[in-house]
């Protein structure tokens, strides 16, 4: 990290410097209004020549490259930056009005660190992308992730996952803002009634309770989607996660009348992941299964939560599964259930993001979340994690 000398002669961390290349006048003020309060210095540059001078003069930490057409003009400007400053010691985030999947693939495979569409420009997503890229820069400087970053296809997949996480986090923040407005209105009603010596309407109290629970769920989801740093990655036995999550949910009264059973192998499964995020995935899937068996009356309400060993020939990594005897899912709903805000549950139980967050977290780890279901028989959700096992 860059350091600067204070008046007393000591050194202190310098704010990360972001060079904004060809960001139009109104846009640069917008970018500054977003990034400056977040702890970044934003310096404008007009054209690649000015950008090269600014990078050399100010020791840039990250470059924002604003282009109208990412495939043509954008790649030409990016390649000139690479040629003049080879190898670049800073990440490059390309801004463009719009980009389809093929454009994203071509741009990221060419070596651009990330691509963000700006119509509209989402403030939270911009901050998430910048923060994530600076973490990648720190890894590069420490010699980490080099092998992964050298493979363009792997890099493209990683950045696609980061993009989905950033977009979902921004959407969550918007929803929380709307909930906050509703909470404020309900609170004003309670205050007005209290000033008149009257009790609040029961419906308004119910709205307060529901909104409060939804705010809690949104906050929980946002925390789970937060950026992963080196300190968050742990080596642990995957089997330990299941009983710990089930115990926590039971203590919180979240398991209801469901018979939740753990199915675990005898041998340990050593993995290296963000443990908090793995636990969040299991919790979301278990809660979803518990809700699915709640109204079952003609058979036991059973939820099995288990772990399976990776394939000994390397065909697949370790797996987590949650199997229930619930109401099942119609075939035309199997993909819809992963869409944000899709839910058939009461608002105090779900905001329709549990499965969306679970899939986003699994994919950010390099894994895959799938579901098989039969109506009136039950569903099985399977998390296939990438091969990361080792002996204890």
SS (H, E, C) 66-83: ECCCHHHHHHHHHHHHHH
Residue 1 lies in a domain: no
* Same-domain status, 42 and 136: yes
pLDDT of residue 4: 45
The CA–CA distances, whole Å, from 72 to 68, 82, 96, 103, 299 equal: 9, 16, 12, 10, 61
* Same-domain status, 358 and 269: yes
Last residue in a domain, options 195, 224, 253:
224
Residue 166 lies in a domain: no
Vertex 216 angle, CA 275 and 186, to 5°: 170
* Same-domain status, 247 and 272: yes
Residue 68 lies in a domain: yes
Asked if residue 185 lies in contact with residue 200, where contact means CB atoms within 8 angstroms, the answer is: no
pLDDT of residue 142: 60
The neighbour count for residue 252, using CB atoms within 10 Å, is 10
- CATH number, domain containing residue 377: 3.30.565.10
* Same-domain status, 261 and 351: yes
- Structurally, how many domains does the chain consist of? 3
pLDDT of residue 150: 46
* Same-domain status, 125 and 208: no
* Same-domain status, 302 and 374: yes
Residue 181 lies in a domain: yes
Residue 164 lies in a domain: no
* Same-domain status, 335 and 234: yes
Tell which residue, 148, 165, 159, 66, has the closest CA to residue 104.
159
Residue 7 lies in a domain: no
Pairing of strands 319-324, 41-45: unpaired
Q: Rounded to the nearest 10 degrees, what angle do helices 354-364 and 275-293 cross at? A: 150
* Same-domain status, 131 and 218: no
Residue 156 lies in a domain: no
Give the torsion through C-alpha atoms of 336, 339, 341, 344, to 10 deg. 20
Structural domain that includes position 113: 13-150
pLDDT of residue 132: 78
Burial readout 75-94 (b: 16 or more C-beta within 10 A, e: otherwise): bebbeebeeebeebebbbbb
pLDDT of residue 238: 93
Vertex 43 angle, CA 42 and 46, to 5°: 135
Last residue in a domain, options 119, 150, 181:
150
What stretches of the chain adopt beta strand conformation (E)?
3-5, 11-13, 17-21, 41-45, 62-66, 92-96, 114-117, 233-237, 259-263, 270-274, 302-308, 319-324, 368-374, 378-384
- CATH number, domain containing residue 132: 3.40.50.2300
The CA–CA distances, whole Å, from 340 to 145, 172, 337, 343 equal: 31, 10, 8, 9
- pLDDT, block means (10 residues), the chain with 392 residues: 42 71 75 88 79 71 83 80 67 84 78 83 83 74 49 49 54 63 77 86 74 62 56 82 92 89 91 87 92 90 94 76 93 78 55 75 87 93 77 41
pLDDT of residue 389: 42
* Same-domain status, 144 and 287: no
* Same-domain status, 39 and 120: yes
Last residue in a domain, options 202, 224, 246:
224
* Same-domain status, 178 and 285: no
First to last CA, the chain: 35
* Same-domain status, 204 and 286: no
Helix (H) or strand (E) holding 135: helix 123-141
Residue 162 lies in a domain: no
């Amino acid at each position: 990290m860059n350091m600067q000398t204070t008046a007393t002669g000591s050194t202190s961390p310098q704010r990360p410097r972001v060079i904004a290349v060809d960001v139009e006048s109104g846009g640069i003020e917008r970018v500054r209004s977003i990034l400056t309060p977040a702890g970044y210095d934003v310096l404008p540059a007009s054209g690649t020549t000015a950008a090269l001078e600014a990078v050399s003069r100010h020791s840039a930490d990250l470059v924002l490259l604003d282009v109208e057409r990412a495939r043509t003009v954008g790649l030409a400007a990016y390649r000139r930056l690479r040629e003049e400053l080879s190898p670049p010691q800073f990440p490059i985030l390309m801004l463009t009005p719009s980009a389809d999947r093929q454009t994203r693939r071509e741009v990221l495979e060419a070596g651009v660190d990330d691509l963000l569409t700006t119509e509209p420009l989402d403030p939270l997503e911009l901050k998430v992308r910048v923060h994530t890229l600076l973490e990648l820069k720190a890894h590069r400087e420490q010699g980490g992730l080099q092998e992964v970053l050298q493979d363009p296809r792997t890099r493209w997949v990683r950045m696609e996952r980061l993009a989905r996480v950033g977009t979902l986090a921004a959407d969550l923040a918007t929803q929380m803002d709307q909930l906050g407005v509703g909470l404020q209105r309900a609170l004003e009603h309670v205050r007005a009634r209290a000033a008149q010596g009257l009790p609040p309407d029961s419906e308004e109290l119910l709205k307060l309770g529901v909104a409060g629970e939804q705010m809690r769920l949104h906050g929980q989801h946002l925390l789970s989607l937060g950026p992963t740093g080196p300190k968050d990655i742990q080596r642990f036995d995957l089997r330990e996660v299941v009983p710990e999550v089930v115990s926590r949910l039971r203590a919180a009264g979240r398991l209801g009348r469901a018979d939740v059973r753990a199915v675990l192998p005898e041998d340990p499964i050593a993995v290296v992941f963000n443990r908090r995020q793995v636990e969040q995935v299991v919790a979301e899937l278990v809660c979803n299964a518990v809700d699915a068996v709640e109204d079952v009356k003609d058979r036991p309400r059973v939820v099995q939560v288990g772990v399976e060993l990776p394939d000994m020939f390397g065909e697949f990594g370790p797996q987590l599964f949650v199997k229930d005897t619930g109401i099942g899912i119609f075939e035309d709903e199997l993909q819809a259930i992963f869409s944000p805000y899709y839910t058939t549950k009461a608002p105090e139980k779900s905001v329709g993001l549990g499965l969306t967050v679970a899939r986003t977290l699994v994919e950010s780890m390099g894994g895959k979340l799938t579901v098989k279901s039969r109506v009136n028989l039950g569903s099985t959700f399977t998390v296939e994690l990438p091969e990361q096992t080792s002996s204890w």
